[in-house]
Structure 1
Amino acid sequence: MRALHDLALGMRFAVSGGREGRLRTGLTALGVGLGVALLLAASSVPSIIDGRMARTDARGVAATHSGGVARSDTSFLYIDASTEFHGRPVSGTLLRADGAHATPPPGVAAVPRPGDMVVSPALRDLMNAPGGTLLRRRLPFHDAGTVAGAGLLDPGELVYYAGDSDLSTDRGAHRASAYGSDDARDPLDPMLIAVIALICVVLLVPVIVFIATAVRFGGERRDRRLAVLRLVGADARATRRMAAGEALFGAGAGLAAGGAIFAVARHFAGSIRLWGMSAFPADVTPVPLLAALVVVAVLATSVGAALFALRSVSIEPLGVVREAEPRARRLWWRLAAPAAGIATLVLTHRFAGKNAALHTVPIIVGAALTLIGLVGLLPWLVEKAVVRLRGGPVPWQLATRRLQLSGGSASRAVGGITVAVAGAILLQMVFGGIQDDFAHPDDSTGAVPTSSAHRHGAPREADVTVQVSAGDMGLARRLATSLGSTRGVSGVAATVEAYATPLAGTSARPGQGGGAITTVTVGDCASLRAFARIPSCHDGDTFVSRTSAATAVDDRPGEVVALDSGDGGHGASAARFTVPYSARTVRALPGWQGESHAGVLATPAALDASTIGGAVTWARVWTDGGRSPGTVERVRTAAALADPAARVDTWVDEARDRQYASVQTGLKIGGTATMALIAAGLLVSAIEQLRERRRLLAVLVAFGTRRSTLAWSVLWQTAVPVVVGTVLAVVGGVALGKVTLDLLAEPVGSWWVFWPYASMGAAVILLVTLACMPPLWRLMRPDGLHTE
């Protein structure tokens, strides 16, 4: 009962003391509340992901049986017609109802009629905005409705569904009768699990550090009040219980404030779009178990920080011993945590082998211990950095003397930035080391060289490719005309392509046939010259394109091949083509990364492309001056006008794995939120420290100290811990990144990734210091000398 009484008395002290006491408690509640709001947002991430996945599955076309879906009153044809506009993906689908009761997509009342489309609100705003004219031309449909939230992954997604009467299965469309996909998702890569664990540690440790700092607002006033309680008979244990009660009240108020901040902020989740992602407010709901862990962690951290702050303070009836000459901080126990963290990672790598992607627990423990250890090292380093500083201008002397007497407060304020910067350096090093494992050739573009464009004697790859899932020479000619007349386009090669399989026993040459799958390309002479060195060409000619490794291709004059889509369907229904004896052998030009477009090259008069089942129409586009955004957007529009289902890709060296890209996007969003929280918390902490020194500032001004001198002293007082903290963050982040990459068996991509993050941390401190100038000016007024 005595302990409960002391706790209750401490809670009562948190709201007593008049205006100063309420302000101190308010600052604590605000600081803790900011951290709680971010933790609640983090605990909502599983709900956000589940909501997105549920809507993704709901709007996916239901899986069909091997026999396909029969035409009925509820069936429909569909084909993907997605595009991109200045880097923003636009998800599009062309639909054609088979009957009056065709199943509409989620969020859509009915399948759009031919020529109509329904669009998401964000897409409509983008089309109607200045600069959206090109996108509006690309979607030449009548705006007949809006896609509701049930059909969107997030409020800012760009989505449209359009009706097209020309859809058919012969032109690449598929038939379905319902929506709702339950396909099993690919399991997350084990290495990404380890990276996600690192992200959680890096983003949450600074928040915990910040909360621990926030509950110590007004520590000097609290210690003096506890000394008064000792004078009236309270013992040391009672004062600690009262301090714990005061911290509990501040943490409880912070939980309430954080809940209120989170409840208000979640309503704006749809309007906040970071790196292409937002969320519906209904999805931003904390997981109950994680929310309970947040409450427990905040309360435990608050009480622990308050008691830890009293470890070196002897509160006696006649005062606080801390006001005497402070003793030097000890180093050995401050090195214990980072040394244990590094040792955990090193020993795991040594004894567990190089399959480190599966060892998420050692990574979490090692990274957390190391980052938390940096917070303990920072006050010792600041003390050693300022202990011998003497002389200099008056602002410098005021700043250094303040740091020498009580550098702990300044170090705590910078501790969050130190941990955040060190964590960002760690993650950037890890991402730089593993990025090659999540990159693959983007061979979907099918980029090939052209003999008319050379770079240092070598053919230049196509800048943009256009693909339509239908073999149609008429479409190829339309694409060539539409794209060729587009501003910024220097050349176009439009062809119809299919796979060719030599048929066993049908070769004109005894003992031949049944060779490897190759390709057949149909196009005019100008387009075929993009694939091989053809000295002379006329409509009706056929060529056999070979590389130096001629044995890899089995097609030859007199060979009979089956033309199909390459999926093995070259039965009796597949078109057959006999390579004429007049076909000339030509040298294939090297394509993407040295691969060639070897196979049969035929002109339209030699091979009717309309007889080829499963053929694809391609258009390779070369532009002036590379892939400038404006030219690419014009190419996309020209291709869509020729065929709305045309797929446009830009040639790239590598395409990031989707899982890797999603994790990297989550890191950017979380890092931005964490840095914003730290900045806001630093501002609150700095203002609280200024209020603690209000009387001292007023005395200095009364004795004639210039206000500018005091302002510069505040800046220098912040700059010294920032410099020390930045150096510590760089060293700690780089060392931790190197050890973690060794654990993941990955090389270091770059040793200089710390420059942007170190600069960002310094910039945050500078901005916070500048924001403190207005309250500093008000606190230096003479009425600060008044007391009661």
Structure 2
Amino acid sequence: MIRFGLRLAVAGGREALTRLLVIAAAVAIGSGLLLTTLAGVNAVDAQLTRYASIYPHALTTGAADKLWWSTRDDYFHGEQIIRIDVAATGSTAPVPAGVPTTPGPGEYYVSPALRDLFAAQPADQLANRYPGRDLGTVGPSGLTSPDTLLAIVGGTPDSVGKLPNARQVDDLGDTPALPETTVDLILGVVAGGLLFPVLIFIGTATRLSAARREQRFAAMRLVGATPRQISLVAAVEAGLAAVVGTAVGFGLFYAFRDPLAGIPFTGMPFFPGDMSLTGGDISLVALGVPAGAALAAQISLRRVRISPLGVTRRVTPRPPRAYRLIPMALGVAVLVFAISFRPATSDGQAAVFLPGLLLIMAGLVFAGPWLTMVGARVMARYANRPATLIAARRLADNPKAGFRAISGIMLALFVTSVAVGVITTIVDERGPAPRGSIDAGTVTTVFDEKTTAAPDTLLAELRAISGVSSATAIREAPDINTGSEGGVIACADLPNAYGRCAEGASVIEVPLGLSRWEESASPATVWRAAPLTLDELRRLPVVAVVVGTDGSTAAIERTRTLLEIAYPTFWVGPNVPGDFESDFADTLRGWEQLANVIIIASLALGGCSLAVSVIGGLTERRRPFSLLRLSGAPVRVLRRVVALESAVPMLAVAAVAIGMGLLAAHLFLRAQMGYTLVAPPPRFAVIVVLGLTACLGVIASTMPLLERVTGPETARSE
């Protein structure tokens, strides 16, 4: 029977060969996207693992030699630079990832992206911050991304041990860092959301011409074939196409892996090696896709196994019942429950939110035939044209087949709505500052430890930089404004743009950062006098230096470099308003990019599923359509029938999917963060409309096939 099944698949005429090639092509696209999704999840894990090596914990394994380690942040024109200071206490101390040896005092390694910046910028704006001998480049194993700006700087144990956040480590480890719970959940929903349309696409492809094969296998049953033999033949036929398609899918994945790795799906590109597949991933796709195709073929023949006469008579299946809404309602109930009873741990939250969202997705697919049937009955009630009535009756008679064509679109819109709703709300609540905010041009250095270094020479050098308008040292205020909330300065050092001193004052109280001055200051502001003399002021330790510039890149970066050389023990480098916001904005832009990827990939998969379903439906019903043409129905009426059968349920379930997606996003946000859903931006509606229009275009593109396959010769008795 296996040889017989292979013969039917490859030697059954042009129709069988075309069906085999179409199924193989569809499975190739689906399996390629499935492999890309799995590799993308592995790439994120690889990035998190290397992120953990940049911020290691202090470990105690008993090793004699340890490595002093301090990770600090610097900035260059709004881009974060990670600076790692290290010092080995002995020859057996661990070596940082990505470099051959631990750099010694006066030595450093830099990442390729930072080296490119060194070459492109004047030394006094960036490279001078890292004096000493350049030992080479940090390798990929020490970087989270090809675009990472990283410097590993050597020092002595005494000097590194005094730096902020310094620690001793004796094992850098390889445990992946745990992302924020929200990010973890979003990535999980994204992966699951992309897998569902891929699996539906593959299942739709393997069911191509299922009705005609049902009739052929039913005839074989009538001449003596057993249900087991029929199942074996069907499995061989579907499995052959799936095996060929899966092999091509692997080829497509490896052919396009490098270009895909360079796309910043999550805000930063991957290394090509990160887009890897584990043995489990390869086995899952290589064995699971053909097995799933064979299973789909057998499920499609369940009526043949029960009664071949039922197929030849084309018995109308039982209509779906309203109980199909239960899984979707349960998924909503889980998210509602999580609002009041959110687990405290990340694992507990994932155990609640992910099943709830996936249950809604599965519930939408399960409830789809019932929704299609209800919509078809409504359409039939108000039908006033033959095409509308024929389409409505056909959908009502077999709503499962009608929904199958647009199930991928439904899931795509649901996943898109959830992702866009969540990400848009987070962006709105946390409010990333635009990159233009760094044009404020005020460079602030706040010291984590007090310094008594006299800044007069430094302030003179800062004021000599072209574009610098002011340079002010803020000193610790004794017995007033205790803590790090404020300080004192000489009245003569107050820039004119920020007000004036109280009458008779020589020393005034001010906030630490000039950016905070801007929140409350204006040329008319009067600052309160401090009970200090100028001599007493000069004996106080400096807690911050604030430099006003014209906002030009050269002035800001030269100021940063000079401050870092003068005060090398900073934790966070000299910064301007917008640096921190710009860094977080990059993360949020990555999330928005991820949402765009979900939209495009999901709608593309849904469109492919729709195309395969519409073509399959035309080939399966070419004889009934031919009889309608012979009875006088114009081709334009048949075109309306095909269009209405796909377009009406697609638009109906699109509204349901978007509504359920935004509801799920709102419940997730309320439960996880306490946020209220913010309406998606207009571009979301534009993308959805364009996606649905493209799907309608897919339907329209199949219309020329209708006239070719419904000629009079097709109406002969088969």
Alignment of 1:29-428 (within 5 A): 29-44=24-39, 47-56=42-51, 82-85=74-77, 88-91=79-82, 107=98, 120-122=111-113, 138-139=126-127, 146-159=137-150, 181=172, 197-236=188-227, 238-289=229-280, 291-293=282-284, 298=289, 301-310=292-301, 320-321=311-312, 323=314, 326=316, 329-346=319-336, 358-383=348-373, 384-385=375-376, 386-388=379-381, 390-391=383-384, 408-409=400-401, 411-428=403-420
2:502 matches 1:535: yes
Question: Do residues 749 (structure 1) and 674 (structure 2) align?
Answer: no
Where does residue 28 of structure 1 map in the other structure? 23
CA distance in 1, matches of 2:117, 2:582: 27
Letter in 2 for 1:467: T
Q: Secondary structure at the match of 2:545?
A: strand
1:474 aligns with 2:394: no
Separation in 2 of the partners of 1:229 and 1:199?
44
Matched, 1:689 2:614: yes
- Could you tell me how far apart the structure 1 residues matched to 2:332 and 2:81 are? 45
Q: 1:591 to 1:271 in 2, by over 3 A?
A: closer
Instruction: Give the distance between the partners of 1:605 and 1:14, measured in 2 at CA.
Output: 97
Match status 1:721 vs 2:649: yes
SS in 1 for 2:406: helix
Change (3 A) 1:767 1:57: same
> 1:672 corresponds to which residue?
597
Query: Distance in 1 between the 2:548 and 2:634 partners?
Result: 68
- Provide, for residues 489-531 of structure 1, a one-character-per-residue CA deviation record: whole Å limited to 9, x for no partner: xx756324457579xxxxxxxxxxx987775444562437788
SS of 1:274 mapped into structure 2: coil
Does 241-250 or 212-221 show the bigger shift?
A: 241-250
SS at match of 1:721: helix
Equivalent AA in structure 1 for residue 207 of structure 2: R
Contact 1:117–1:163 (CA under 8 A) maintained in structure 2: yes
Select the residue among 568, 577, 591 that pairs with 1:651. 577
Normalising by structure 2, we get a TM-score of 0.71
In structure 2, C-alpha distance between the alignment counterparts of 1:380 and 1:64, rounded to whole Å: 58
Say if 1:198 and 1:687 are closer, same or farther in 2 by CA, change over 3 A: closer
Distance 1:236 1:657, change over 3 A: farther
Deviates more, 1:761-770 or 1:309-318: 309-318
Distance (whole Å) between structure 2 residues aligned to residue 305 and residue 601 of structure 1: 84
Partner amino acid, structure 2, of 1:24? R
The letter for the 1-side match of 2:647 is: A
How far apart, in 2, do the equivalents of 1:114 and 1:673 lie? 47
How far the C-alpha of 1:370 sits from its partner, in A, is: 1.9
Three-state SS of the structure 2 residue aligned to 1:390 is coil
Preserved CA contact (<8 Å) 1:334 1:373:
yes
SS state of the match for residue 278, structure 1?
coil
Letter in 2 for 1:225: R
Q: 1:524 to 1:347 in 2, by over 3 A?
A: closer
CA spacing shift, 1:701–1:417, aligned 2, 3 Å = same
- Cα distance in 1 for residues equivalent to 2:123 and 2:635: 57
SS in 1 for 2:472: strand
Q: CA RMSD in A?
A: 6.0
Contact 2:192/2:358, CA 8 A, preserved across alignment: yes
- Equivalence for 2:568: none
Question: 1:745 Cα deviation (Å)?
Answer: 7.7
Note the alpha carbon deviations across 1:724-773, whole angstroms, 9 max, x for none.
121111232234345445654835333x3397556534422323444676
Cα distance, 1:426 vs structure 2? 3.2
Quote the Cα distance in structure 2 between the aligned partners of 1:95 and 1:482: 32
The answer as to whether partners of 1:464 and 1:622 remain within 8 angstroms in 2 is yes
Name the CA shift for 1:520/1:23 in 2 (closer, same or farther; >3 Å).
same
* In structure 2, distance between residues paired with 1:144 and 1:254: 49
Supply the AA of the counterpart residue of 1:220: A
Cα deviation 1:206-236 (Å, max 9, x = unaligned): 3333333232223233223223322432245
| Cα distance in structure 2, aligned partners of 1:353 and 1:161 | 41
Q: In 1, distance between residues paired with 2:352 and 2:106?
A: 58
Displacement after TM superposition at 1:242 (Å): 3.7
- CA–CA separation in structure 1 for the residues paired with 2:414 and 2:314: 33
Give distance in 2, aligned partners of 1:778 and 1:103.
67
C-alpha contact (below 8 Å) 2:564/2:574 kept by paired residues = no
Change (3 A) 1:481 1:284: same
Residue 766 of structure 1 aligns with which residue?
693
Residue identity matched to 1:466: T
Question: Judging changes above 3 Å, is the alpha-carbon distance between structure 1 residues 40 and 64 closer, same or farther for their aligned structure 2 residues?
Answer: closer
- Matches of 2:709 and 2:239, distance apart in 1: 35
Q: Which residue does the alignment assign to 2:546?
A: 619
How many pairs align?
679
Q: Which residue of 2 aligns with 1:637?
A: 557
Shift in alpha-carbon separation, 1:308–1:728, aligned structure 2, 3 A: farther
Q: Which runs of 5+ in 1 are unaligned?
A: 448-460, 503-513, 547-564, 566-587, 624-630
Counterpart secondary structure, 2:270? coil
Residue 768 to residue 162, structure 1, CA distance change in 2 (3 Å) = farther
**C-alpha separation in 2, matches of 1:174 and 1:343:** 45
Which secondary structure does the structure 1 equivalent of 2:444 belong to?
strand
Is contact 1:215-1:305 (8 Å) kept? yes
Relative distance call for 1:108 and 1:368 in structure 2 (3 A) is: closer
- Structure 1 position 312, deviation (Å): 6.2
Which protein has the bigger helix share?
Answer: 2
Q: CA deviation at 1:198?
A: 4.2
**C-alpha deviation, 1:279, in angstroms:** 1.9
Q: Residues 782 and 657 of structure 1: is their aligned pair in 2 closer, same or farther, counting only changes over 3 Å?
A: closer
C-alpha distance in structure 2 between counterparts of 1:160 and 1:699, whole Å: 75
Matches of 2:124 and 2:223 in 1, distance apart?
79
In structure 2, give the amino acid aligned to 1:361.
A
Q: In structure 1, what residue type is equivalent to 2:275?
A: V
Aligned AA (2:250): G
- For 1:95 and 1:603, locate their aligned partners in 2 and report how far apart those are by CA, in whole Å: 42
8 A contact 1:48–1:284 mirrored in 2? yes
1:583-627 CA distance string (max 9 Å, x none): xxxxx979689xx99996979765447x83xx454325487xxxx
CA 1:13–1:353: 2 relative to 1, 3 Å: same
